[in-house]
């Protein structure tokens, strides 16, 4: 079992990734994890999931995808692609909420791209449901119904895109508190 300090350090690193994205320097090298250690971790996760009637591995994997989408959203904002930024925020929030669904129910919740409705299904607090609702209009299918793709980045300015990033981060912090603290 990891020491409390190690757990806090891992949580701090994840929070840093969620808040600011990933930055690599030429000196950084990927960490090697032994096959035996990885196998042991996977067995522990399977045991936890079996005891809870949930899909913990699926929840962790989907939360990781949500975190990657959040990092991509910040890159898109920096590149001035505001709709792409907000679209990735929408995707990150959906995946984060679905990771909670996997954790609680063992499957993804069925919904129709209404993130507020998804928040209700996964029993998110009202404040989180509100943040999710802010991002609902940016599902591409809905957004492009009223906005031609070539105009998408002009409809959302950088300040608005940044506020949507903040909403998405709040949702990811909520999901993180559930998925990573099992």
CA distance 118 to 121: 5
Alpha-carbon torsion (88, 95, 164, 156), positive or negative? positive
Closest CA to 109 of 52, 57, 72, 55: 55
Q: Give me the pLDDT at residue 12, please.
A: 64
41, part of any domain: yes
168, part of any domain: yes
52, part of any domain: yes
150, part of any domain: yes
The tokens of 102 are what? 């996997």
122, part of any domain: yes
Instruction: Supply the CATH number for residue 160's domain.
Output: 1.20.120.330
Q: Give me the pLDDT at residue 182, please.
A: 73
At 43-84, the pLDDT tens digits run: 544 444 444 568 999 999 999 999 999 999 999 999 999 999
164, part of any domain: yes
Helix axes 82-105, 126-135, angle to 10 degrees: 140
* Helix, strand, coil abundance in the chain, percent, nearest 5: 75, 0, 25
pLDDT of 117 over the 60 cut: yes
CA distance 131 to 142: 18
**Rg for the chain, CA atoms, rounded:** 17
What percent of the chain has a predicted confidence (pLDDT) above 90? 57
Please tell me whether residue 30 adopts helix, strand or coil conformation. Answer: coil
What is the residue range of 92's domain? 35-179
CA distance 126 to 69: 23
**Is the model's pTM score more than 0.95?**
no
| Residues 57 and 45: beta-carbon distance below 8 Å | yes
Give the residue, 53 or 117, on which the prediction is more confident. Answer: 117
Q: Give me the pLDDT at residue 41, please.
A: 43
Rounded mean pLDDT of 96-107?
Answer: 95
3, part of any domain: no
Number of domains observed in the structure of the chain: 1
29, part of any domain: no
Closest CA to 128 of 161, 86, 100: 100
Closest CA to 99 of 116, 122, 120, 117: 122
């Amino acid at each position: 079992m990891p020491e409390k300090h190690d757990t806090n350090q891992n949580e701090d690193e994840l929070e840093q990734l969620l808040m600011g994205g990933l930055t690599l320097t030429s000196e950084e090298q990927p960490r090697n994890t032994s096959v035996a250690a990885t196998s042991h971790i996977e067995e522990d996760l399977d045991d936890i999931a079996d005891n809870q009637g949930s899909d913990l591995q699926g929840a962790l994997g989907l939360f990781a995808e949500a975190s990657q989408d959040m990092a991509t959203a910040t890159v898109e904002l920096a590149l001035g692609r505001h709709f792409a930024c907000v679209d990735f925020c929408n995707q990150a929030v959906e995946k984060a909420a679905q990771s909670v669904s996997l954790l609680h129910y063992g499957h993804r919740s069925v919904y129709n791209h209404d993130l507020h409705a998804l928040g209700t299904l996964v029993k998110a607090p009202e404040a989180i449901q509100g943040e999710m609702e802010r991002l609902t209009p940016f599902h591409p299918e809905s957004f492009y119904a009223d906005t031609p793709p070539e105009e998408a980045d002009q409809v959302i300015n950088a300040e608005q895109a940044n506020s949507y990033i903040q909403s998405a981060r709040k949702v990811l912090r909520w999901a993180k508190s559930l998925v990573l603290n099992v």
